[in-house]
């Protein structure tokens, strides 16, 4: 009786899990594993009759490319600057939204709107706004007297990077604001009452009560965000296509160009390098923040 | 004195909040205005911040010169079917993960979480080969299948969270009354979770609606294009018809805006559920 029951249970569990596991195994894990294998083969989409084992040839070819290193440097700039401004502006916004005021829910709904758009559309939107001739950003800067003549934002390497980062900041601030608002709400009110009884000022309460309490959450949000920004070629793809001359290429737009070019061997190698980068960053970061907490 | 200071602080806060709202909404405003300007007005200086002679010609072009009706229908079908399948598969898997302890459960959750960290386009090449082997290139069914695979881990994990909030006693009561586990799940648990299920469905729908890289890799025949694929082909190296592009942007973003407004509360919950633990 009991045995039959557990058998029935096991069958139920397996039946319920089977569809999801099957989809993920076939269309996610299998291609990833095959990609890792292809990275060590000579594999060009336009000649799949011969796919010999190539050892580290693809990796050597990628690492010898100037464009790969530019993309890697750009990835650092892209992630660091986007993250920095998204975090601090988002934190500021969260602090302003912390106390209730009339219309707060409506306000949150409105500033939430970039989240309904895809990175692709946001890239297009800002590509038009940063247009060198008819772009509204140039127009506003001219009107404000900040520049004397129009700037070809997306045609000049330094400006192009600045432009895509501005677009990304615009997109990401709300995410941080929402996450940090939730984190702030998780701080128990009694802690503040106790601190107030002890005569702590508002600034002191922030540094000694709020911040320590939400620190682990902040650490996790930042980690998720770094991974996400790194994996976010959509915006750059539609805004500049990685140009001018690779000036806004990041590692993931570089990867997509390899796939479009049909050299799957190299694409596989870049994929593994991206994976290595993600993993080593996560491990390094988790260790660093754990150290912080233990201290 | 103190009241004056407090008043000044409130005013400063209001100004900052208003400024940010302006920054957030201006790009949307600008794309709408662009879509309503006749072509010569879009490409002329000085810029006008309100169309001198508003027109719907760009919207009309989308459906006459481009086959935007087909693209919209394709996007709608793919997103609806994929989101429905994802929701059902996620509901089944999430239930099992929430209610049963079995060997390998932790490993399974981890395997699902890992896919959320690694973007699917990392394996774009091999995925293309697989789709080609299965005869799924240039077919909406192919996109549906890949989208389901892409979203199942998220749906399963978020559903598990929703189930965990439904008291087990509720189900047990139904089972004592003689209902089987599946019947108990459908009749008792599902109604309680309806808002969460709706949110999962909408979220999946929007993800499919917006997806670009997989779609441009697998689809290039006119009659199977989804909206992002079609818009991507509007981009040529040196020239973009910004009037049509603006109109297409507005048309493709309106459905997601409406849906997100409806389930905003649940999205916030979903986003924060994983990361924030009190």
Amino acid B266: pLDDT: 67
Number of A–B residue contacts, CB under 8 Å: 227
State whether A21 and B246 contact (CB < 8 Å): no
Measure the CA–CA gap between B31 and B231, rounded to whole angstroms: 15
First to last CA, chain B: 39
Burial class from Cβ neighbours inside 10 Å (0-12, 13-18, 19+) for residue B69 reads exposed
Average pLDDT of the segment spanning A264-290: 87
Instruction: State how far Cα B168 lies from the chain centre.
Output: 31
pLDDT digits (tens, 9 = 90+) for B158-167: 899 888 888 8
CA of B22: which chain A residue's CA is closest? A111
Provide, as residue numbers in chain A, all residues whose Cβ is less than 8 Å from the Cβ of B163: none
Provide, as residue numbers in chain A, all residues whose Cβ is less than 8 Å from the Cβ of B276: 179, 182-183, 186, 217
State whether B126 and A268 contact (CB < 8 Å): yes
Chain A contacts in chain B segment 228-247 (CB below 8 A): 228, 231-232, 235, 240, 242, 245-246
> What values do phi and psi take at A17, rounded to 5?
-85, -25
Amino acid A291: pLDDT: 56
Residues in chain A: 295
pLDDT digits (tens, 9 = 90+) for A90-124: 999 999 988 888 888 888 888 888 888 999 999 99
Which residues lie below 8 Å from residue B201, measured CB to CB, with a gap of 6+? B83, B84, B86, B87
Chain B contacts in chain A segment 70-109 (CB below 8 A): 92-93, 96-97, 107-109
Q: Which CATH superfamily is domain B66-275 in?
A: MetI-like (1.10.3720.10)
Q: Which residue from A110, A186, A259 is facing B25, i.e. has the nearest CB?
A: A110
B31 interfaces chain A, CB cutoff of 8 Å: yes
Provide, as residue numbers in chain B, all residues whose Cβ is less than 8 Å from the Cβ of A129: 27, 30
Chain B contacts in chain A segment 31-50 (CB below 8 A): 31-32, 34-35, 38, 43, 45
Amino acid B275: pLDDT: 46
A30 interfaces chain B, CB cutoff of 8 Å: yes
pLDDT digits (tens, 9 = 90+) for B70-117: 999 999 999 999 999 999 999 999 999 998 888 889 999 999 988 888
Measure the CA–CA gap between A32 and A39, rounded to whole angstroms: 11
Residue B177 structure tokens: 């009354």
- Is 50 exceeded by the pLDDT of residue B277? no
Amino acid B66: pLDDT: 82
Contact between residue B180 and residue A202 where contact means Cβ atoms under 8 Å apart: no
State whether A124 and B231 contact (CB < 8 Å): yes
Mutate to test the interface with B, among A96, A108, A111, A120 (most CBs of B within 10 A): A120
Instruction: State how far Cα A141 lies from the chain centre.
Output: 29
Amino acid B278: pLDDT: 31
State whether B89 and A19 contact (CB < 8 Å): yes
| Distance in Å, alpha carbon of A118 to nearest chain B alpha carbon | 5
Residue A73 structure tokens: 């440097």
**Residue from B124, B222, B66, B53 nearest A261 by CA:** B124
Which residues lie below 8 Å from residue B270, measured CB to CB, with a gap of 6+? B158, B199, B200, B203
User: What sign results for the dihedral spanned by CA atoms B42, B46, B51, B52?
Assistant: negative
Contact between residue B95 and residue B184 where contact means Cβ atoms under 8 Å apart: no
CA distances from B97 to A80, A129, B117 (A): 37, 47, 20
**Residue from A231, A114, A127 nearest B234 by CA:** A127
Three-state SS across B93-148? HHHHHHHCCCCCHHHHHHHHHHHHHCCHHHHHHHHHHHHHHCCCCCCHHHHHHHHH
Residues in chain B: 278
A180 interfaces chain B, CB cutoff of 8 Å: no
Measure the CA–CA gap between A270 and B125, rounded to whole angstroms: 12
- Domains annotated for chain A, with CATH where assigned, are 1-38 (no CATH), 76-262 (1.10.3720.10)
Provide, as residue numbers in chain A, all residues whose Cβ is less than 8 Å from the Cβ of B28: 113, 125
| Distance in Å, alpha carbon of B29 to nearest chain A alpha carbon | 11
A56 interfaces chain B, CB cutoff of 8 Å: no
CA distances from A138 to A163, B44, B45 (A): 12, 13, 11
Q: Which residue from B20, B126, B275 is facing A179, i.e. has the nearest CB?
A: B275
State whether B276 and A234 contact (CB < 8 Å): no
Contact between residue B214 and residue B104 where contact means Cβ atoms under 8 Å apart: no
State whether B92 and A282 contact (CB < 8 Å): no
Share of chain B above pLDDT 70, in %: 94
| Distance in Å, alpha carbon of B17 to nearest chain A alpha carbon | 8
**Domain spans of chain B, in order of start:** 26-55, 66-275
- Is 80 exceeded by the pLDDT of residue B263? no
State whether B24 and A170 contact (CB < 8 Å): yes
Average pLDDT of the segment spanning B181-196: 79
Provide, as residue numbers in chain B, all residues whose Cβ is less than 8 Å from the Cβ of A92: 16
- Is 60 exceeded by the pLDDT of residue B274? no
Amino acid B211: pLDDT: 94
Place of tokens 């949307």: B28
- Is 80 exceeded by the pLDDT of residue B140? yes
Cross-strand pairs, A263:
A44
* Rg of chain B over all Cα atoms, to the nearest angstrom: 24
pLDDT digits (tens, 9 = 90+) for B189-240: 878 788 788 888 988 999 999 999 999 999 989 999 999 999 998 887 667 8
Amino acid B86: pLDDT: 97
Amino acid B272: pLDDT: 54
Q: Which residue from A29, A31, A107 is facing B21, i.e. has the nearest CB?
A: A107
């Amino acid at each position: 009786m009991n045995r039959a029951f557990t058998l029935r249970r096991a069958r139920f569990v397996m039946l319920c899990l089977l569809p999801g596991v099957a989809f993920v195994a076939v269309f996610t894990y299998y291609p990833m594993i095959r990609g890792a294998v292809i990275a060590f083969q000579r594999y060009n989409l336009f000649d799949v009759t011969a796919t010999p084992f190539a050892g580290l040839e693809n990796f050597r070819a990628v690492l010898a490319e100037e464009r790969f290193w530019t993309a890697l440097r750009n990835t650092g700039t892209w992630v660091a600057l986007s993250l920095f401004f998204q975090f601090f502006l988002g934190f500021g916004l969260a602090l302003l939204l912390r106390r209730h005021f009339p219309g707060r829910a409506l306000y949150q709904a409105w500033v939430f709107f970039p989240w309904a758009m895809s990175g692709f559309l946001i890239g297009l939107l800002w590509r038009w706004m940063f247009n060198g001739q008819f772009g509204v950003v140039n127009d506003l800067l001219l009107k404000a007297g900040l520049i004397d003549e129009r700037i070809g934002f997306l045609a000049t390497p330094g400006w192009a990077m600045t432009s895509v980062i501005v677009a990304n900041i615009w997109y990401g601030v709300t995410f941080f604001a929402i996450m940090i608002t939730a984190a702030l709400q998780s701080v128990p009110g009694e802690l503040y009452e106790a601190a107030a009884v002890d005569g702590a000022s508002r600034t002191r309460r922030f540094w000694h009560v709020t911040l320590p309490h939400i620190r682990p959450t902040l650490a996790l949000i930042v980690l998720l965000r770094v991974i996400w920004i790194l994996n976010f070629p959509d915006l750059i793809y539609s805004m500049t296509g990685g140009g001018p001359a690779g000036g806004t290429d990041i590692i993931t737009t570089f990867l997509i160009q390899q796939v479009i070019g049909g050299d799957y061997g190299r694409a596989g190698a870049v994929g593994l390098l991206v994976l290595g980068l993600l993993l080593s960053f996560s491990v390094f970061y988790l260790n660093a923040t754990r150290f912080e907490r233990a201290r | 004195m103190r009241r004056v200071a407090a008043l000044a602080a409130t005013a400063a806060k209001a100004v900052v909040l208003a400024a940010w709202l302006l920054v957030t909404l201006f790009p949307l405003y600008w794309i709408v205005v662009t879509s309503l300007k006749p072509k010569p007005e879009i490409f002329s200086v000085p810029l006008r911040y309100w169309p001198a002679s508003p027109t719907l010609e760009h919207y009309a072009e989308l459906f006459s010169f481009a086959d935007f009706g087909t693209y919209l229908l394709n996007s709608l079908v793919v997103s609806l079917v994929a989101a429905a399948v994802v929701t059902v598969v996620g509901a089944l898997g999430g239930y099992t993960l929430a209610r049963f302890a079995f060997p390998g459960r932790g490993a399974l959750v981890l395997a699902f979480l890992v896919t959320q960290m690694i973007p699917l386009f990392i394996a774009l090449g091999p995925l293309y080969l697989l789709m080609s082997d299965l005869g799924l290139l240039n077919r909406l069914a192919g996109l549906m299948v890949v989208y389901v695979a892409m979203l199942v881990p998220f749906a399963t994990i978020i559903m598990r969270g929703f189930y965990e909030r439904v008291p087990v006693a509720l189900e047990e009561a139904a089972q004592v009354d003689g209902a089987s586990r599946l019947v108990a799940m459908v009749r008792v648990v599902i109604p309680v979770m309806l808002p969460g299920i709706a949110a999962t469905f909408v979220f999946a729908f929007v993800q499919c609606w917006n997806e670009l890289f997989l779609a441009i890799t697998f689809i290039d025949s006119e009659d199977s294009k989804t909206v992002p694929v079609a818009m991507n082909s509007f981009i040529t190296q040196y020239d973009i018809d910004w009037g049509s592009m603006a109109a297409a942007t507005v048309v493709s973003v309106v459905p997601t805006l409406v849906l997100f407004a409806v389930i905003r509360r649940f999205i916030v919950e979903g986003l924060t559920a994983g990361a924030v633990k009190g």
